[in-house]
Structure 1
């Protein structure tokens, strides 16, 4: 059956074209129910014993996705009209609901109602798009009732009262999610969820005074916000809440070229971290200074409304500020300050945390109210209802936000699920993953079906392939952290007869071609395949203290694609010819077959290099067989001069020269307080903790990783300037060949470096930040009496740097240099096992060499930009998850021990005088108000360290001056 629609469309050039859109309708689309006697049961996804089949409308999917993800909810029909609406309104929810449909363990079925002749409906005259879609949903639900002939109850779930009324009038069983879901969930969970749209506040407000007071200003309607933005009255941006002070937030505004400070819950006006908001500037005499204060304990939130008068000020309770503190306008200049007048786009999602008990009102029928406290301090407390409060008080749970009324101090939400016991290591690790949106689910059967069977080995066809060079005779080796299994890069360094060196890097190659040779590893990750889609979504592997969450399945990461020792593997190689002074004469790229001779750890590689260095003056390499060797054992001689050790020494010498050259150009030598744990293999609890040591072996590998990334970036940018995935450097005066500069470069501004400058000035150091080279030289001169002093300064400098981001290709820029690296434009090439960005770069490089055609996705710039944005998001979240994992295991380790780094809490000491403390921003000191005592930044002090819980279920490492 053919349905057509004719309409006219005006082109950009002003021409009017007549267009005809044909819509083919079918009568053979399956219903997905195995109890159906008409449709093919092999296509069934619903339960064969289903007594009720749910048909959900768009608003239920958008607002109750957390409930739909609950395992108690099954046998759900998702109509194509609903999925189309959800996709247009919220891609995040769309991806989640599609994941439910593809999950073989869940009973979700997609019915193409828009293509079935009995369920397709035309839009009627004067009927809105929304009304038409609601009618299509009712028609599909009614068709299911008739089609199944009473074999199962078909129930339409809708939160639209009018839609429900019409459905019942038409003989369709219908119910709201608020009524239906709690009945289903009651036998599975203890918490009664609230509805996103029909949240009843009467029970909650019973706890308040009889006269409810307005707490927050009403949000402006979108029409007024749009008008205000155009007139410059309002400013749009993303609200970012201070991690250490949840009452202070920032909104970046392009219209005023600065960040707007939002101080206090009242001015935040119910906005959450990550919301896109409209902000109105306050009068200049009400502008605030940046407080730079951390709320000392978790008693910063007001207690529940029924315990605290609703008129109470919602500002945080901090220490009094004295002269020279953040409260002194002469000390720190005022910053633009404002208040939120409207929410343009919400960033609500599920949050992890625990419950605070609240008293149970009389006649509540067992239902208690509780405040949910998120692990993320930036999130306000959330009010929920529960039937068995006592059973949840010692649990980590997930709660989603439903609404935030302007008469309520706290948002209302509903319970999603329980994670586990508070304090349990596995539970707290799961919280880390959820809070950072890390996908740790097992790979689906569709993804695993893309992998070749094990055992896998290089075939004769691979060796005979003319595009692949046989490099198995080359002495290739890898250098990685101890116990590394996902080895994605290897090195070789060969002395040439000319006196130059051939230096190469081989990365595991997972580029996809369009050939059909199934024995080739390049078929592992086809563009658009389930494996490729999964890797694109995950973006990166995530490294926690006790586990690794892979971007790709383990058969690839630890076997087929891992460049293990004594195993033939396919690779993509970058090969340079270098002089003894590390000048690059030529560079070539090739797909290859390699066989690594050794998989060394950094410690093992360093031991070989140190062993050689010790005797380098005694035994020059050209005279290695001279008489001086006679007094050294043959085993030691073999260790000193074996080919692998010689290659390491030569490569390290070249790396030092490359590094020295970068330092001359202004590369920064930064530092971090990175720690490493020794983990119990059985319990996975931390046994020991120490600072991570950087050796020459680490720097050697890093230098050649950087060199490869720079070379590949240059190659692919020459060929594909508009679709390359790059990491841009910066130069404020850079101009492009086309006169355009991409301003997505994350440049550390003077304001971002101000904390470093103030700290340095407080100890008598003057740092020059006019350029990367000037800053590097200043850091080299920053030497104190304490040998750790210089490292502390470099750690502070590191924390002022911005994170690099991936961007889709740009016009070739001149005079670009990357802050910190002093290197030209670079890309990600060296880690395709754990970074999807490298997979894209491998595809680009192979296409630039003429090995394969460029996949069609690279012609879709918006889609490629979307992928790059997701990769940046996933990379950032992976970093945050790794840091949170370190913090968690630090708490576990120091529960009965002492700590190393954290905020210092100043406790009153009678013998040292009383009074409050304040922060002197100018002198970088903390002082007693009476002047009896002060401490300066970077001053050596004695402290006591312990794990404390100032608020239940929020343990932290506390440092107290003694």
Structure 2
């Protein structure tokens, strides 16, 4: 798997070959031969990419022969606006986004579907530019922001910095909003970029300085849906709490198994439970039991439509915004202890070396006999409470999980280990402490078992020659250019990243991660390596998962909080009942795109909510000194991550008054012209906090001796 070129590389090779041969056409086998795609796995991937390019009308095709199709001068895409005013248009099938100057944006807003005219590449940069011709679909119809009254009219200053214009609100559309309120405002009219968009106040959320309102407003600015409609609540409440006898009868009854859960102390939505038994032949029976959400949430209901629209639960710094109403997420579906529950189980026979010898995927009824927190399970793993009735089960599970981890890393998984933080809030929602999250063995135990089940389920479908329609979690190989840049970057720290024809193996990445561990530059290098990776996404076409080193992978284990898992459950059931059809391919493709986008939005909202509280915390420490590590260097300043609190701030070049500094692009270094003083990523520095802006989530620092 590690030798395969990426899909992006194959696409480039195909386009380059056809472009170089003008109007000449080729059969697929001729293209593959000329590109030297000879081995079976590479050829199979090549045919997959070629079919995708054909679907997207990227190539000319006559009688099964392909030829180069010049790109159109007008294309459609999604506009992504940078807070500094310019933007990029993402066009499906294009490798590079199109750059749009602020003056060429017309009346388009961030997120809109637009038609653009292509301009010639910018001299020097080679960057392709575009001008917005029209808005095809206004996808941003409302924004969240702070209401600022100016007599008989008002403006709403958007929280989302990608919306660069204030929204004008006439007095008759205030709807009770007062100066300083956090509001949701519609965008009813926006004809000309020289004038502000016009709208109405739709909802007053609360006061802008209320910590809880700040987080809620941030989430809603990312289009995170906060409440459920009456219809959705009604449908959820109508679901019975008890399981009918006939439903139990038709399922595999596993209530006698020693099943237990391990979750965070504050968790209520228990998606998964496990059991581990030693078999007479020396192997293990590993059961991964997942809440059977698809039994309760049916297509065509308001409940399902709302879950799909959300796509995922969102874990903000101070709350969870669930995908499903509480009746389901924390009640009927949750695998709570000492209750009979409906589950979808993947039961595997696993050898002591971690290989799956056999498996069955069944609709089951289970009974969790114990609920552990991660801390409680860790105590048992560490040898404490040896007399606990489930101590042997947890210890055995931990031992097997270690084996699974070693096997996974041997077979090509990339072992990133970037630190995560938790912001501790007081009762008023104000930050009082920032601590690093500890990933103990109990956490990794559950992760390994979930990975095993997800992989087994995906293999169950994907291994078949006539594989039915399914949803996969895929992760492409990293782009060769990004890896080349990464190799140059690590070289300035004295490390080597060996490449194979422009590609990097997971073993080589793990070797690098192992070498840097414990060094000041470890974080910045690992972060750079992570940024060089492709983004994982959902797709109906399987290309494997590079980061995990898996040929087949899906998301099956969290249907309470992830809609793709619910899709996987439904498709598995249809396959088991021989109801699978191929007519739903377009629908599944759209669902995969939607779920990937909702995941991206949720991740961004979660990250920004944490950053908001980090900045709020550091604002309480203005004037104080911190030790930090340089996390990035640009021509306009030095980014520094404060070690103890993992807050990133910036020292502006204008505040480096001891010398004139020049930026060396080759070594990512700022160099003082007279003193020779340098700042480069990985340097440990002492800084003082001089400003912290919660609205923009930016922190200003200065260096101190």
TM-score computed with the length of structure 2 as normaliser: 0.78
Contact 2:354 2:407 in 1 (8 A): no
* Counterpart mapping for 1:254-265 below 5 A: 257-262=95-100, 264-265=101-102
- In 2, Cα distance between equivalents of 1:343 and 1:231: 21
Check 1:281–1:560 CA distance in 2 against 1; reply closer, same or farther (3 A cut). closer
Q: Shift of the alpha carbon at 1:929? A: 5.6
Structure with the higher strand share, 1 or 2: 2
CA deviations 1:371-393 (Å, max 9, x no partner) are: 54322222222351544999844
Runs of 4+ with >6 A deviation: 388-391
Q: 1:710 aligns with which of 451, 455, 458?
A: 455
Unaligned runs of 5+ in 2: 1-68, 625-644
Q: 1:886 aligns with which of 610, 626, 632?
A: 610
Matched, 1:820 2:547: yes
In structure 2, the partner of 1:275 is 112
Matched, 1:573 2:349: no
In structure 1, the partner of 2:592 is 868
Q: Shift of the alpha carbon at 1:661? A: 2.0
In structure 2, the partner of 1:777 is 510
Matched, 1:906 2:652: yes
- In 2, Cα distance between equivalents of 1:495 and 1:864: 40
Check 1:283–1:556 CA distance in 2 against 1; reply closer, same or farther (3 A cut). closer
- In 2, Cα distance between equivalents of 1:508 and 1:256: 39
Contact 2:479 2:532 in 1 (8 A): no
Query: What secondary structure is seen at the aligned counterpart in 2 of 1:441?
Result: coil
Contact 2:689 2:699 in 1 (8 A): yes
CA deviations 1:381-425 (Å, max 9, x no partner) are: 23515449998442223334344555x534332232433222211
In structure 1, the partner of 2:437 is 692
In structure 1, the partner of 2:336 is 564
In structure 2, the partner of 1:479 is 262
Q: Shift of the alpha carbon at 1:880? A: 1.6
Q: 2:79 aligns with which of 239, 260, 263?
A: 239
In structure 1, the partner of 2:160 is 376
Q: Shift of the alpha carbon at 1:281? A: 4.8
Query: What secondary structure is seen at the aligned counterpart in 2 of 1:782?
Result: helix
Matched, 1:660 2:406: yes
Contact 1:447 1:530 in 2 (8 A): no
CA deviations 1:570-606 (Å, max 9, x no partner) are: 2121111122111221111222222222211222212
Check 1:705–1:255 CA distance in 2 against 1; reply closer, same or farther (3 A cut). closer
In structure 1, the partner of 2:601 is 877
Query: What secondary structure is seen at the aligned counterpart in 2 of 1:266?
Result: helix
- In 1, Cα distance between equivalents of 2:118 and 2:325: 50
In structure 1, the partner of 2:354 is 582
CA deviations 1:232-289 (Å, max 9, x no partner) are: 33444333233xx523422345687533333x422434433223444445555x4364
Q: Shift of the alpha carbon at 1:821? A: 0.4
Q: Shift of the alpha carbon at 1:914? A: 4.4
Q: Shift of the alpha carbon at 1:714? A: 2.2
Q: 2:282 aligns with which of 482, 486, 499?
A: 499
Check 1:794–1:643 CA distance in 2 against 1; reply closer, same or farther (3 A cut). farther
Larger-gyration structure (1/2)? 1
In structure 1, the partner of 2:532 is 800
Q: Shift of the alpha carbon at 1:469? A: 1.9
Q: Shift of the alpha carbon at 1:896? A: 1.1
- In 1, Cα distance between equivalents of 2:155 and 2:124: 31
- In 1, Cα distance between equivalents of 2:680 and 2:524: 14
Aligned length: 607
Query: What secondary structure is seen at the aligned counterpart in 2 of 1:261?
Result: strand
CA deviations 1:189-227 (Å, max 9, x no partner) are: xxxxxxxxxxxxxxxxxxxxxxxxxxxxxxxxxxxxxxx
Q: Shift of the alpha carbon at 1:758? A: 4.6
Check 1:609–1:923 CA distance in 2 against 1; reply closer, same or farther (3 A cut). same
Q: Shift of the alpha carbon at 1:690? A: 0.7
In structure 2, the partner of 1:225 is none
Q: 2:568 aligns with which of 841, 845, 852?
A: 841
In structure 1, the partner of 2:59 is none
In structure 2, the partner of 1:922 is 666
Unaligned runs of 5+ in 1: 1-228, 290-333, 359-365, 512-521, 612-635, 731-746
Contact 1:906 1:961 in 2 (8 A): no
Contact 2:497 2:509 in 1 (8 A): no
- In 1, Cα distance between equivalents of 2:171 and 2:354: 71
In structure 1, the partner of 2:18 is none
Matched, 1:415 2:197: no
Q: Shift of the alpha carbon at 1:939? A: 0.7
- In 2, Cα distance between equivalents of 1:373 and 1:673: 34
In structure 2, the partner of 1:9 is none
In structure 2, the partner of 1:251 is 89
- In 1, Cα distance between equivalents of 2:436 and 2:405: 24
Q: Which moved more, 1:385-394 or 1:645-654?
A: 385-394
Check 1:757–1:278 CA distance in 2 against 1; reply closer, same or farther (3 A cut). farther
RMSD over aligned CA atoms reads: 3.2
In structure 2, the partner of 1:52 is none
- In 1, Cα distance between equivalents of 2:458 and 2:71: 43
In structure 2, the partner of 1:724 is 470
